[in-house]
Amino acid sequence: MTIEYQMDVPMPESKRRNSVYPWDMPVGASFFVAGMGHNTISGRAQYKTKTLGFKYSMRKVTEDGVTGIRVWRIE
């Protein structure tokens, strides 16, 4: 069996989505995610810490009667 290469075949668009969260925010800034579990957002923050080199802290909070996670950039 011989496999031949082909030229000029366009590559499909990546299915990877851009983050909807502002991970590249300045130190001291924060964002609130309603209804998101701590483990879900924590995993995303850990990934961004590794890729961007930033550090985050998060707390479960209730704002205007809505419970969610607030994420702060600390470094």
Kindly report the pTM of this predicted structure: 0.70
Yes or no: say if 32 and 25 are a contact pair by the CB < 8 Å rule.
Answer: no
- The rounded Cα 11 to chain-centroid distance in angstroms is 25
Render pLDDT for 40-70 as a digit per residue (tens, 0 to 9).
888 888 888 888 889 999 999 999 999 999 9
Work out whether the CA dihedral 70, 38, 57, 19 comes out positive or negative: negative
Yes or no: say if 24 and 54 are a contact pair by the CB < 8 Å rule.
Answer: yes
Query: Shortest CA distance to 59 belongs to which of 47, 50, 48, 67?
Result: 67
Range of 11-15, 18-22, 59-63 with top mean pLDDT: 59-63
